[in-house]
Amino acid sequence: MLLRGVRKAATFLAILLGAAMLIKFMTLADETLAARQVPVLVHGNELLSTLRTVCDSHACQRYAWELQASLDVYRNPCRSLYDFVCGRWRRGAAVPSVREMAEVRLQREALQSVLASNSTQSASPADISDRVAGLVSSCLRARRNPSELRAFLRDRGVLPHQWRSSPHAVLTTLVDLSLNWDIHIWFQLTVDSYENASTRVYIARSNVLEKRADVLRKIGKSRKYRAGVEGAFKILGLLDEQIPAAVVRKSSLDALVSALLENSGAVPEMGPLNLRLETMTETFTPAAPAKAWLDALRAAVPPAMNLSEETFVHVQSTRLLGTLNSLLEFASRRQNDVAEYIAYSAFLKIGWMVDDWNATTRDRPLYFMPARMTKRCLREVERMTGLAWFSMLSAPHVGGNFTRDLLTLIVPDMASSTDIIGPSDTSVHLDVLPVPQLSFFAEWVAFKEARHELTSSGLYDILRVDGVVRSGFWHREPNLTAEPLLFSYPFFHTQLHPALNYGGAGRLIARALLGLVTPNASEATEEMAVSVALRALRGALGGHENAITNSATVDQLFFMASCYAVCDAEDSAGTARRACDAPVMKLPAYRTAFGCSPSAGKKSRATHVKFIDFSH
């Protein structure tokens, strides 16, 4: 009996001891978790309060919240800045990268501006915003509403209400179908002139293209495509018009313009171009002078673009360039009118550049790639409004020092007193470029506004130096391109703190300028670009009354901004990670800012990192 009581007491004590140990373990776990959160709560509030003191604008607060949503504060920036800054960047979103999000914002702002200027007085800003959001989201979901498209085109004046009143209405409709629907019709253009000076433009069957139609018919695709075009014509109110027998689907404007000239896909890259229409047979050489381009474009672009003699248009597709050059070379006045109308329609719908690579690769459409589809969708929305986003800046090369000439255009108060190493020199040092003062971005923006909106493609192609091959040697040409994206949020904003501006747009500008003296891109070039941008930031903040006094805090914001600009949820190839980590890991300023030991890239931990907590 006694033994049984002892056993019960021992069991009871064991249960109590186990419960006590469990409570102690849970307490330790809570303390450990709290300890892990201490850097976030303590250091974050300190840095956030400092940032708010010097930058309390809406843009700064917006940047702070977005950065907070992307940060993974439990990642070690001494091992990977990309994991730290982009660790929680949203995955599975329709717009996967920071750059594409910036593109969406620009597109919506542009659409809102266009809709607001063309809408009735009764349309409220909320209505305009809803229409823009609907267009963009519908395109991102790869859904096309034909009725919406028809109404939108008519409202913008792209598709005339009484289209038969214009002799060029068929061409307008075909261009719209091609650019907005990716439906390219194989046809033969016929131009009839009458004694009463009227002109009739209509579609006729092509014997050459009929052979292609037979091929399509044999593989069973002709009916499907024809039905699609008939449906589009019906919705657009054009079903009573003759539709060509051979219909194919393409993804490049080149195909449409070539089809107009019966050269579908066979336009030579260089040399004479044979144009065969039912009423004419001529041979042209695509070599229209620059003045012809300017005269033609002045008649098509908005007056605000202010094209000048040193401005020229660069079309990435040489096939399209050759075709449109030939269109501008027609001898007959009436033929010239028709040709110019086609050329103007193409330019007004697509802007100034056509990037075939974004549409097809080796003749295979890239619709299945989400990033490409998103980019293409945004361009389609842009084209529907007729916005001419793409233009090129020509910086005339005077004398033998192109870099000095370029800096004279951009920052005239700095280039005159600085020795610049030219492209022919083999050595380069960080002192090659002057440290810009506070007017660094102001000069860029003023220069941009004085010319016209500049554009390009690709994050590291935001600023680019073009070149040509002559006699087997590569010659660098003084043709710079930039785009509104470079000077837009989150890369740059007038209300953001300079550390964020220089980390975003500043690094890209520095990288482009260094490209003039170090043509071969390398990890060292990227590292130098970050160093130059950081020195520019420190020079801009020198003596500024609102400057953050803690240099480590400034440097942290700078490096985080430089990395946040490349966050990409679909970085399967590791390109964004390398662009973020490789240039900074060896920089002493980076290791100092984040308290990294000399072996930070291996197994060490940050010791004095001030994490940002934007949740308060």
Question: What b/e sequence results for 470-484 when a residue is b if at least 16 CB atoms lie within 10 Å of its CB, and e otherwise?
Answer: eeeeeebebbbbbbb
Query: pLDDT at residue 181 above 60?
Result: no
Tokens of 266: 């066979």
Q: How far apart are CA 24 and CA 263, in angstroms?
A: 82
Q: How far apart are the first and last CA of the chain?
A: 64
Q: Which residue has the higher pLDDT, 100 or 158?
A: 100
Point out the least confidently predicted range of 161-165, 300-304, 422-426, 597-601. Answer: 422-426
Q: Which residue has the higher pLDDT, 446 or 516?
A: 516
Q: How far apart are CA 322 and CA 295, in angstroms?
A: 17
Q: What percent of the chain has pLDDT over 70?
A: 20
What residues does 473 pair with on adjacent strands?
470
Return the domain boundaries, the chain.
144-249, 251-366, 393-593
Please answer whether residues 474 and 423 qualify as being in contact, where contact means their C-beta atoms are separated by less than 8 angstroms.
Answer: no
Model confidence band, residue 73 (pLDDT cutoffs 50, 70, 90):
confident
Mean pLDDT within 218-228: 48
Query: pLDDT at residue 260 above 80?
Result: no
Tokens of 255: 């195909």
To 10 degrees, the CA torsion angle through 74, 76, 77, 78?
A: 170
pLDDT, tens only, 563-583:
998 898 888 778 889 889 988
Please answer whether residues 587 and 23 qualify as being in contact, where contact means their C-beta atoms are separated by less than 8 angstroms.
Answer: no
Most confidently modeled range among 153-167, 291-305, 552-566, 602-616: 552-566
| Length of the chain, in residues | 616
Q: Which pLDDT does position 571 carry in this prediction?
A: 80
pLDDT, tens only, 263-304:
222 222 222 222 222 222 222 222 333 344 334 434 433 333
Mean pLDDT within 477-502: 67
How many CA atoms are closer than 13 Å to the CA of 517, on its beta-carbon side?
A: 26
Q: How far apart are CA 370 and CA 95, in angstroms?
A: 8
Cα separations (Å) of 297 from 175, 309, 324, 393, 522? 18, 12, 12, 15, 39
How many CA atoms are closer than 13 Å to the CA of 100, on its beta-carbon side?
A: 22
pLDDT, tens only, 17-36:
666 665 555 555 444 433 33
Q: Give the type of residue at 443.
A: E
Cα 437 to chain centroid distance, Å, stands at: 28
Q: Which pLDDT does position 246 carry in this prediction?
A: 26
Point out the least confidently predicted range of 157-161, 253-257, 581-585. Answer: 253-257
Tokens of 192: 């009839």
Q: Which residue has the higher pLDDT, 440 or 505?
A: 505
Q: Is 205 helix (H, G, I), strand (E, B) or coil?
A: coil
Model confidence band, residue 66 (pLDDT cutoffs 50, 70, 90):
confident
Q: Which pLDDT does position 366 carry in this prediction?
A: 32
Most confidently modeled range among 24-33, 186-195, 230-239, 469-478: 24-33
Please answer whether residues 338 and 168 qualify as being in contact, where contact means their C-beta atoms are separated by less than 8 angstroms.
Answer: yes
Q: How far apart are CA 458 and CA 463, in angstroms?
A: 9
Cα 95 to chain centroid distance, Å, stands at: 12
Q: Which pLDDT does position 526 carry in this prediction?
A: 79
How many CA atoms are closer than 13 Å to the CA of 211, on its beta-carbon side?
A: 4
Query: What value does the mean pLDDT of the chain take?
Result: 50
Model confidence band, residue 82 (pLDDT cutoffs 50, 70, 90):
very high
SS3 content of the chain, % helix, strand, coil (to 5): 55, 10, 40
